[in-house]
Structure 1
Amino acid sequence: MRRKETNLTHSKLANDLLNYINNHIETQINIDELAAEFGLSKFHFHRIFKEQTGSNIYETIRSVRLQKASNLLITNKYSTITQIANMCGYSSQTSFIRVFKERFSQTPKLWRNGGYKAYSNAILSGTCNALLTHTDFSHLEAKIVKTKPKSVYYIRQKGYNRQAVQIWQKMMAWVYTNEIEQYEQIAIYHDNPIITPLHECSYVACIAPMDDKKLKNTSLPIFEMYDGLCATFEVEGQYNDMLKLIQWVYHEWLPESGYEAITIPSYTIFEKNHFLSDDGLFKCTYYLPVKYV
């Protein structure tokens, strides 16, 4: 029982820190001060976060900064590279260019001039068959909505792959155990899967109960989802279509939209979940947190 309580406490700490990083990524995040605020030594702070997420804190901060920069270079056409570096927490253009090139094997300038398309295609072709799908998303119309806060129970997985069926089955076993009748199935992409190798992505399977029924088993960790402005897209298809949809949203729709993606992860609310359906098809609404620019 104590181990279960400890795991829930550690999971909450990791999620609180992830939320802090996403919401303050433009600042110089001080890990020593954060560890002290959580009442932990720096060593235990790092150990708990790595245990829960599979990544260390500094790697996560750098990843979130560079994912934000990769989007801003595409959508913020009138911002200089120095300005974008500052928006992502880098104090100098030189250091930003160096770490960007280490991560994406090209300079920010080359990325902005179209290099992002080749990089993304290489990610998808090297890890799955997403490029083989010929699904056309150009007919999709975005709806801009203001989402409401909701509490979700979840299981996190390192890697975005077909093994996600296992954690979704566990989530459904939890639903049946608690006799929950009204709920949403939500998938959260903590890393952008079109620019991050899929085996490195953090994927989160969530259940959001839609009633006030008292749960019999609360062994799963819980957190509050983002409530704010989102662009939404209603779509149906099969496994590989989801990655192509995300690529189309970021690379085709977003640059011309007048909106900017923020560091809050995108997510999907399923009407039909391809990881659980017998035919491997999904029907869902994809949510991209954005801000007006």
Structure 2
Amino acid sequence: MKYSQKEGSKKEYVSRINRVIDYVKNNLDEDLSLERLANVGLFSKFYFHRIFKSISGESLNSYVNRTRIESSAFFLIHHPKASITSIAYDSGFSSPAVYSRAFKARYDMSPSQWRKLKCIEKSKICKVSSNIGQLHSKNCKGTDKVTLYIDSRTQKPIWRIKMNNDKSLDVTVQTMSDIHVAYIRHHGQYDPHDKQLFEGLFSRLMGWAIPRKLFNPPATKAMTVYSSGHPDTTAAENLNVDVCISIDKDTVVEGEIGKRVISGGSYAVVSLTGATMEECGKAWDEVFNHWLPESGYQPGEGGYYCNHLNDPEQHPQKLHNVEMYLPVKPL
């Protein structure tokens, strides 16, 4: 009995700290003072610093500053028309000078140098892929990797990305509603192909949801959400990933189970059927490296996520059927 109470207490602490982490990510340009964040986590402000570090492994100030800098680094790459000054303020820094000092301390270069370096890297990737695409092109005029179509049935645009294996990806932009989810979070380094890790996370989530009759597919969505850092900007030990199921907004959660909202809005959507994990990862690369620069869109605020449409363990070849969602907004 004592062990059970101890485990329950630890899970409640984790859940509250996750709530604070989610609040920080969604409110970078607002007041993220100790008092405000302690209130979000329902802790005393006098002990909150110590509690936050004991659970997350990182001090509160370090987490807030790192998240602001890494968010700005991502926007410097993918919002090429945004000024560095506006990115500094949108990321919660008091002035461009303060921002530049913090950025250089993190990445050992100025924000403008970072943007220039990453743009050169992206340009090289696109050029190499384009050259490869030319070699494999058979029945298409020109050498463009991304082609825009208007669907004759829906009259909506579809972008088709030519792959190097004679396959293609279709990208659409859809307006999504808010999705309320219950989640379990993994903090730290992980391999997106780690089958054992994700099976374990989903098993724990389902162990909570199924007895409460909260998992009822296909109405219930099972998702993986990547919203705390990006491998381009975040050290591996600071990455987070959530496994989630959709829930009614009034659902009560407890212990290690957190509750959050995936914000609605415009999302670039890619559907994959019968895909390997490697092909799913390649699809993300194609969207970022080729579709975004030609689409007239840029990444929006919020995390990207996958909606899992099947259990790959039940597929004859262990393949995945997924929908992949990236928040976007006009350039």
The TM-score bracket by the shorter chain reads: 0.7 to 0.9
Aligned to 1:289: 327
In the superposition, relative to structure 1, how do residues 257 and 278 fare at CA in structure 2: closer, same or farther (>3 Å)? same
Aligned to 1:223: 259
Letter in 1 for 2:270: F
Give, in angstroms, the shift of residue 145 of structure 1.
Answer: 1.8
Letter in 2 for 1:19: D
Give, in angstroms, the shift of residue 202 of structure 1.
Answer: 0.8
Partner of residue 168 from structure 1, selected from 183, 186, 202? 202
Distance 1:102 1:244 in 2: 32
Structure 1's unaligned 5+ residue stretches are 122-132
**Relative contact order, CA 8 A, sep 6+: which one is greater?**
1
TM-score, with length taken from structure 1: 0.75
Distance 1:284 1:160 in 2: 20
- The percent identity for this pair of structures is 22
- TM-align CA RMSD: 3.7
Structure 2's unaligned 5+ residue stretches are 125-162
Give, in angstroms, the shift of residue 33 of structure 1.
Answer: 3.9
Distance 2:166 2:61 in 1: 38
Distance 1:105 1:247 in 2: 26
Aligned to 1:67: 70
| Contact 2:28-2:91 within 8 A present in 1 as well | yes
Question: Which has the larger displacement, 17-26 or 108-117?
Answer: 108-117
Partner of residue 159 from structure 1, selected from 185, 189, 198? 189
When Rg is computed on C-alpha atoms for both structures, the one with the higher figure is 2
Find out whether 1:19 has 2:22 as its counterpart.
yes
Distance 1:136 1:92 in 2: 49
Aligned to 1:235: 272
Aligned to 1:148: 178
Q: What does the per-residue CA deviation read over 1:110-154, in whole Å, with 9 as the maximum and x for residues that have no partner?
A: 3323426749x9xxxxxxxxxxx9678974313222223323242
Distance 2:120 2:6 in 1: 45
Aligned to 2:302: 264
In the superposition, relative to structure 1, how do residues 96 and 16 fare at CA in structure 2: closer, same or farther (>3 Å)? same
TM-score, with length taken from structure 2: 0.67
Partner of residue 88 from structure 1, selected from 91, 94, 97? 91
Give, in angstroms, the shift of residue 219 of structure 1.
Answer: 5.5
In the alignment of these two chains, the number of paired residues is 278
Letter in 2 for 1:225: V
Letter in 2 for 1:187: T
Give, in angstroms, the shift of residue 197 of structure 1.
Answer: 4.1
